[in-house]
Structure 1
Amino acid sequence: MNQGSYLRLGDGDYRMTSYEVQLLLANRGQPRHDEEPVPNTSLADFDPALVAELVSRLRTRRPYAYGELDDLAVLRRVRALVPDGSGADVASLGGLLALGTFPQEHFPQLMITFVHYPTVDGADPDTGARFVDNVVAEGPIPVMVRDTLLALRKNMARRSVVRGAGRADDWEYPEAALREAVVNALVHRDLSSESRGTQVQVEMYPDRLVMRSPGGLFGPVTEERLGEEGVSSARNAALLRILEDVPLPGSSRAICENRGSGIRTMLAALRSAHLSAPEFRNRVSSFRVTFPNHTLLSTDVIDWINSLGERGLSPSQCVGLAILRDGGLLDNQTYRQATRVDSRVATQELSDLIARELVEQVGTRRWTRYRLARGLIRTRVAGETPKGRADRRADILDALADGELSRTELAAATGLTDKTVTRWLGILRKEGLVEATEEQVRSPAVRYRRTGKVAFDQS
């Protein structure tokens, strides 16, 4: 297997490394690397304050399982202490990472490195500056999370945003999203012996923030399903279980909840701050999260959407328009990833944007893509303020002046798309200006006619 295994990537194949092959094999079952005994360790390698906090919380929250146990028995039950080959209690790898005073004494690379680069490409060739800041976060996971967040906060700028009638200063990236990303990178990383020489890496650039961790997604979780309710899987189950009852230093908040809510919390925090959703990139041997450093729904974007004159747009449709504003393309999957709506809602909302003549469909079936309507692109390129979308009532009524027509015939007569005709027929029927000749109005064979009611001139 190590000599003849290949991975499909894009349009080609590449030979898998021995580490990637072994990781795929290990992922067939539940990995137990976090329960491995660490030689030459004991209870003395644990931080007494973290142990006391863990034991107290377990006895309070789960008295049936832990209420009658002494401290050593509690640590054994949560697999923080495990027997070595001679039967003596030693720290497990997960126990050491969660509760140890200095795990890096035994595993120097199980840490986080943070580097703040001066340019989007890294070092500045003009000044010779390799980085703006360089931090190594060591210690148990609670301390590494705290110190990484401190480094991020130190290097983040504040931006002014319009909120209600005033302005407010927010961090470039919401701390709730960063905390979840840092915790996920540490807790879900691969802990097999092959990856213990690789640290979690956090890199800040002027236009993005990148977090990398060894080991791809585990279990049923995929890039497309990240953040879906009920989709959760823990590579390091024992470690995660311990950290449910270990708080961040100086806080009562536990490191993680083990409820599969971390990605949803991250996305909700970014949406609340009007920031773009992160990009997730999963590989067999690594996982990467990239946070773009720009406000998706900034003041000028919101003003542009309002200038379209369209009422009733959903928040997710506004996000989709913001993405398409600069001439990009969307498909159903990328729309779902950006907005976190399900496939059915994504299809309905994209169809509605087409019907409103804000978006155009390119291609069909699996090659279907969506782009901003050409008229809106022209005004965007020319720097013009878009006018309200055309009122198509007169077009539909004029086409029906000589008799009954179906949706298909109306589309041919007016030059409008079927979705746009359907939308305006619905509006005209509600206003009592048009009626269907049959009750099954969803059928394309149904014909429509004018009612004789005079339309009110809104000009």
Structure 2
Amino acid sequence: MLDDELAEIVGNLRRLGGDDADVEAKRAEDRLPKSVRDTVSAFANTRGGVLVLGLDETAGFSANGVRDPAKMTAGLAAVCADEMEPPLRPLIRTHRFEGADLVVAEIPALDSRSRPCFAKRLGMAQGSYVRVGDGDRRLSGYEVHLMVANRGQPRDDEEAVPEASLADLDPELVATFVGRLRQQRPYAFADLSREDVLRRVKVLVEDRVTVAGLLALGRYPQHFFPQLMISFVHYPTPEGADLRTGDRFLDNRVLEGSIPAMVRDALTVLRANMSRRATVRGAGRIDSWEYPEPALREAVVNALAHRDYSPESRGTQVQIEMYPDRLVIRNPGGLYGPVTEDILGEEGVSSARNATLLKLLEDVPLPGTARTVCENRGSGIRTMLRALRDASLSPPRFVDKISLFRVEFPNHALISDEVVAWIRGLGEYGLTDSQCLGLAMSKAGDVLDNHSYRSATGVDSRRATAELGDLVARGLLRQTGSRRWARYELVASVSAGLRSTGRRDRRREVLDALGASELTRAEMAALLDMPDKTVSRWLRILRDEGLVELIGESPRSPNARYRRTGKVMLGE
């Protein structure tokens, strides 16, 4: 880590007023704090992080420093290498900061095949932690079990159900499924009997039905596993029950059967509880459901197909909760394998906890349709995001808690008539469709970052950075932090509609600041009290118009200097 990166981290902590998910600061003048082992474990079991020793959070993250940096560095390295299992090898350096010595360790995230990392003296059950918000939380026994199971390919879906036999499968579903396999893959199945086909795809183990077979093709899997179902509740208020009227819910259903039947019934119930809305599309309006059906279908299928089916979780159902302002779908078991919240939906990112079940559902039809339950191509999240984007809705919020996974759909259209009028009123020309969508998200109160902008708009990371930077340069968004801590929110005057036409054209201000001088971009930003991106944008415009010229350096260089040309601005 470089000194300027550390300065940025500390500045961000001071702005936030506390630690965040990626950074932990601890006071440590003379010795390592006892909680260091918890933090090291938590970072290693989450997504890595930065541990800063020598900052006092209670005093606004003032730099108290450490008295013996060499001893502190050696002690921290020994804890990571000798007291943690598996051993960790973080990058540890001493930095001189504001007159004090800080010891900074960059803790790497462990591969899922090596988790959990825990303190040896406490053991795996008591010494394993995870990072939640700005703190370290001890893993529950179930979470430890999931991490250990995720070291390899779980086989819970291939487990034979002792009491279940071929008679517990739906004969119509089985016939359609077997027929499809023989037609689609004759080289593997054409010459086999029905029972041998089912054994080859692990619906049967000898004469016993597997968990996957029962869920994909069963008549009534809940006879054996009562809680492997969906509960649906429609609440009257954003908080749940209506305390004024005493209404606990508007609708309450239990959805049972095989996975194909539960997906069908869940979509039916959701349609019955949804309203229709008018959405702006181009120059007109169209009527659509509150939530697009392709997005709901993918979310329900993902919850049922990717949930944890280990014995420890078979008492927990998939839950769908509808509120006036959001729809929440929750399933036991967090993300599996190398998939994380940050990369969900990116092309080529896929991992199946229940590989056999997913393979079966690829060839099992949804009742009453010609389509199968899922494609098993890792495209479900992308389909979900695209459907929401096409409906001008906010992207879903994904939450991975190790023991559960939650997807939340906000219930508001981003591009309404009011928002379209507001964007037009900004008087900004050349905005892309994705920038308009980003502005609409900000108008709705969302704080953007590169990942959320990409999820909502479908652009790649480089374009997201460029477009967000352009919105900052235009004075529409305000950036806090930089690099991975960069966040963007709507400028207050823009949100309130108070942005005057005169403030949109900054050319005269920049030319007046230059005068007869030769200035760098940073010098002009200080004179004008403008963000660097804004100054850079107007300098580029003035150069294109021939009113300003660059002296010597590349425009990317912070040392580049600018001066006025002899050309007169139109209207002068």
Same fold (TM over 0.5): yes
**CA displacement at 1:301 relative to structure 2:** 1.4
Query: Which residue number corresponds to residue 405 of structure 1?
Result: 519
Whether the 8 Å CA contact 1:307–1:385 is kept in 2: the answer is: no
Q: What amino acid does structure 2 have at the position aligned with 1:423?
A: R
**CA displacement at 1:300 relative to structure 2:** 1.1
Query: Which residue number corresponds to residue 191 of structure 2?
Result: 68
**CA displacement at 1:391 relative to structure 2:** 1.0
RMSD: 2.2
- Which stretch shifts more, 57-66 or 222-231? 57-66
> 1:404-443: per-residue Cα shift (whole Å, max 9, x none)?
4332333344443321221122222222333323373322
Cα 1:24–1:327, aligned 2, differ >3 Å: closer, same or farther?
closer
**CA displacement at 1:136 relative to structure 2:** 1.3
**CA displacement at 1:373 relative to structure 2:** 2.2
Instruction: Map residues 38-437 of structure 1 onto 2, 5 A cutoff.
Output: 38-83=161-206, 89-325=207-443, 329-364=447-482, 367-377=485-495, 379-380=496-497, 387=501, 389-437=503-551
- Which stretch shifts more, 4-13 or 193-202? 4-13
> 1:358-401: per-residue Cα shift (whole Å, max 9, x none)?
12223455554332224324x34xxx586475212222333444
Cα 1:415–1:8, aligned 2, differ >3 Å: closer, same or farther?
closer
Q: What amino acid does structure 1 have at the position aligned with 2:154?
A: P
Aligned with 2:253: secondary structure?
A: strand
- Which stretch shifts more, 320-329 or 421-430? 320-329
CA distance in 1, matches of 2:414, 2:127: 45
Cα 1:365–1:237, aligned 2, differ >3 Å: closer, same or farther?
closer
Whether the 8 Å CA contact 2:385–2:455 is kept in 1: the answer is: no
Cα 1:133–1:421, aligned 2, differ >3 Å: closer, same or farther?
same
CA distance in 1, matches of 2:239, 2:523: 55
Count residues in correspondence. Answer: 449
TM-score under structure 2 length normalisation: 0.74
CA distance in 2, matches of 1:407, 1:223: 37
CA distance in 2, matches of 1:164, 1:328: 24
> 1:212-232: per-residue Cα shift (whole Å, max 9, x none)?
101111001111111011110
Q: Which runs of 5+ in 2 are unaligned?
A: 1-123
Whether the 8 Å CA contact 1:277–1:291 is kept in 2: the answer is: yes
Query: Which residue number corresponds to residue 141 of structure 2?
Result: 18
**CA displacement at 1:341 relative to structure 2:** 3.9
Whether the 8 Å CA contact 2:295–2:387 is kept in 1: the answer is: yes
Cα 1:165–1:356, aligned 2, differ >3 Å: closer, same or farther?
closer
CA distance in 2, matches of 1:75, 1:214: 28
CA distance in 2, matches of 1:126, 1:286: 32
Cα 1:362–1:92, aligned 2, differ >3 Å: closer, same or farther?
same
Q: Which runs of 5+ in 1 are unaligned?
A: 84-88
- Which gives a bigger RCO, structure 1 or 2 (Cα 8 Å, sep 6+)? 1
CA distance in 2, matches of 1:204, 1:258: 27
CA distance in 1, matches of 2:445, 2:204: 57
Cα 1:310–1:222, aligned 2, differ >3 Å: closer, same or farther?
same
CA distance in 1, matches of 2:529, 2:326: 44
CA distance in 2, matches of 1:18, 1:442: 53
Cα 1:193–1:375, aligned 2, differ >3 Å: closer, same or farther?
same
- Which stretch shifts more, 315-324 or 93-102? 315-324
Percent same amino acid at aligned positions? 64
Whether the 8 Å CA contact 1:308–1:388 is kept in 2: the answer is: no
Aligned with 1:2: secondary structure?
A: helix
Q: What amino acid does structure 2 have at the position aligned with 1:430?
A: D
Q: What amino acid does structure 2 have at the position aligned with 1:427?
A: I
> 1:275-322: per-residue Cα shift (whole Å, max 9, x none)?
111111111211111111111222211221121111222333223322
Query: Which residue number corresponds to residue 46 of structure 2?
Result: none
> 1:321-365: per-residue Cα shift (whole Å, max 9, x none)?
223226653344444444454443332222111111112223455
**CA displacement at 1:165 relative to structure 2:** 4.2
Q: What amino acid does structure 1 have at the position aligned with 2:561?
A: R
Cα 1:260–1:327, aligned 2, differ >3 Å: closer, same or farther?
closer
Q: What amino acid does structure 1 have at the position aligned with 2:406?
A: R
Whether the 8 Å CA contact 2:547–2:566 is kept in 1: the answer is: yes
CA distance in 2, matches of 1:448, 1:386: 28
Whether the 8 Å CA contact 2:290–2:411 is kept in 1: the answer is: yes
**CA displacement at 1:131 relative to structure 2:** 1.4
